[in-house]
């Protein structure tokens, strides 16, 4: 896979406690305030975020969980419809609802990435970063944040 390729991942992830919240821009984000954490969930959410993927499926099963996830590249314009499968190919299982996803996406022309890129962590100004993080009044900031708001977004940018 190349750096600017689009990606879609669908599967049965069986993480019942992940709670997804729809944003005003129609994206689904994990609601960390309502999601108990463990290493596997943390790794999944970290990997999906690092790969710049968006979760598309919000169909809940009888236990009010979303077990079958559908991730797609966030930077690719995607129009999709997700609905219960009208004629499922498998028997209906109460924990895994058969669903149909119809995706229409814009095919972007391939573009070669110029040169090699890498993160040069030696050039980071770690003294300023540590000073910035040390001077945040976390006790004052924490209660004002919405569960889906990135913690430092308003502070850094």
Domain ranges within the chain, ordered by starting residue: 8-109
pLDDT in tens, 35-94: 777 788 888 888 888 888 888 888 888 888 888 888 888 876 677 788 887 777 777 677
User: How are beta strands 78-84 and 8-12 bridged, if at all?
Assistant: unpaired
pLDDT of residue 102: 79
pLDDT of residue 147: 58
Q: Please give the residue that has the higher pLDDT: either 146 or 42.
A: 42
Average pLDDT over residues 138-151: 64
pLDDT in tens, 116-144: 777 788 888 888 888 888 887 777 776 66
Phi, psi of 141 (to 5 degrees): -75, -40
CA–CA gap between residue 65 and residue 20 (Å, rounded): 9
pLDDT of residue 144: 66
Chain mean position to CA 16: 16
Q: Is the pTM of this model over 0.85?
A: no
pLDDT band at 150 (very low <50, low <70, confident <90, very high): low
Beta-carbon contacts of 102 under 8 Å, excluding residues fewer than 6 positions away, are: 80, 81, 82
pLDDT band at 155 (very low <50, low <70, confident <90, very high): very low
Mapped onto helix, strand or coil, the DSSP state of residue 153 is helix
E strands within 1-157? 8-12, 20-22, 28-30, 53-55, 68-73, 78-84, 99-105
């Amino acid at each position: 896979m190349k750096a600017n390729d689009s990606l879609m991942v669908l599967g049965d992830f069986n993480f019942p406690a992940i709670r997804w919240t729809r944003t005003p821009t129609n994206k689904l984000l994990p609601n960390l305030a309502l999601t108990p954490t463990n290493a596997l969930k943390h790794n999944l959410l970290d990997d999906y975020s690092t790969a710049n993927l968006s979760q598309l499926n919000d169909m809940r099963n009888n236990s009010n969980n979303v077990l079958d996830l559908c991730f797609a590249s966030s930077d690719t314009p995607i129009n999709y419809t997700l609905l219960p499968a009208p004629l499922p190919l498998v028997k209906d299982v109460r924990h895994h609802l058969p669903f149909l996803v119809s995706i229409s996406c814009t095919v972007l022309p391939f573009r070669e990435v110029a040169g090699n890129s890498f993160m040069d962590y030696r050039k980071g100004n770690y003294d300023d970063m540590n000073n910035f993080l040390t001077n945040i009044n976390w006790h004052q900031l924490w209660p004002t944040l919405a569960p889906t708001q990135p913690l430092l977004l308003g502070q850094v940018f």
